Structure 1
């Protein structure tokens, strides 16, 4: 779901620019910005049940969804 930990679009890319380097070191602290285009990550999660555990972060939701579907298969 989205980028792997430690990866994101460049600061220039989020502003519509095309950086010269395809991959570059990030020496700036990540501030929690949202740089994914909505059309690239469509959808909203609705459930008809209350999850058995507290989902306090986006990674919690991703892990819960993966584990939930693994149990159902």
Structure 2
């Protein structure tokens, strides 16, 4: 499952808002990823970028902007 076309995928605004909101609530990156899993999303590291995926299929939704890490 190492697909990752890190090109021009843009994350939809409602999903990006959810990810940002959950990051502000989490005390650590590990907790943040756990919280996102509860909503059906995951973040994987690919070629130095963080890619948001939809669980359980692993469908890539887009590259996470650097300011959110």
TM-score normalised by structure 1 residue count: 0.26
Instruction: Return the structure number with greater helix share.
Output: 2
The structure that has the greater radius of gyration is 1
| Structure with the largest fraction of strand | 2
Give the TM-score normalised by the residue count of structure 2.
0.27
